[in-house]
Amino acid sequence: AEGGSAEAGKTKSATCAACHGMDGNSVNPEWPKLAGQHESYIVKQLMNFKNDERVNATMTPQAKPLSDQDMADLAAYFSSQAVKPGEADQAKVTLGEQVYKGGNNASGVAACAACHGPTGAGNPASNFPSLHGQQTTYVKNQLMAFRKGERANDAGKMMRNIAANMTDAEIDAVAEYIAGL
């Protein structure tokens, strides 16, 4: 986001740190890491929570009082932090890697790498979020929420259409692969 100050964001991030970690590396697997995430994506999510376009009982009240400047500053701060990768369950990474890199032609699952990149870096210009090192449980929860249509803030239904065709086993495996990316 334009005009975000990482220094100001650091000061404003004290309440966020309780869940997302001081440096944006959360510890609880249900809470997403924000470290290294693109500024534009963080701002979009905070706007979506504030406008009730993305609904979450925990985050909605956090986002409501934030001004545009607060969002830009918080995004600049968390984006400037280095993400610490997690550990993948090695029993699941073979299927996870296959889904991530190749999708599933038979069931119509697009390759994640096409948008999120081979290393999970995403693409800030298109607002495709970074996924690498993201918490396994958080990723699973998001894919299941997209599949059920409970998370519906993806432009053009990109993620809802993909998740709709994913099996539980594919979701589980790709989440493990992403954690270790």
The DSSP call for residue 15 is H
- CA distances (Å), origin 63, targets 80, 89, 91: 20, 33, 38
- Determine which residue in the list 21, 36, 120, 129 makes contact with ligand HEM, applying CB under 6 A: 129
User: What six digits make up the tokens of 15?
Assistant: 């309440």
Q: By CB under 6 A, tell whether 158 contacts ligand HEM.
A: yes
Kindly write down the DSSP assignment for every residue of 87-147, as one continuous string.
---TTTHHHHHHHHHH-BTTTTBPPTHHHH-TTS--BGGGTB---TT--HHHHHHHHHHHH
Q: By CB under 6 A, tell whether 22 contacts ligand HEM.
A: no
Q: 57 or 91: whose CB is closer to ligand HEM?
A: 57
Contacting residues for 146 by C-beta, under 8 A, at least 6 apart: 154, 159, 160, 162, 163, 164
Minimum CB separation of residue 18 from ligand HEM in Å reads 5
Minimum CB separation of residue 137 from ligand HEM in Å reads 9
Q: By CB under 6 A, tell whether 162 contacts ligand HEM.
A: yes
Q: By CB under 6 A, tell whether 116 contacts ligand HEM.
A: yes
Question: Looking only at residues 25 through 84 of this chain, which bind ligand HEM when binding is defined by CB under 6 A?
Answer: 30-32, 34, 42, 44-46, 56, 58-59, 62, 74
Q: By CB under 6 A, tell whether 141 contacts ligand HEM.
A: yes
Query: How many whole angstroms separate alpha carbon 136 and alpha carbon 143?
Result: 11
Residues that bind ligand HEM in the complex, under the rule CB under 6 A: 15-16, 18-20, 30-32, 34, 42, 44-46, 56, 58-59, 62, 74, 99, 109-110, 112, 114-116, 127-129, 131, 139, 141-143, 153-154, 158-159, 162, 174
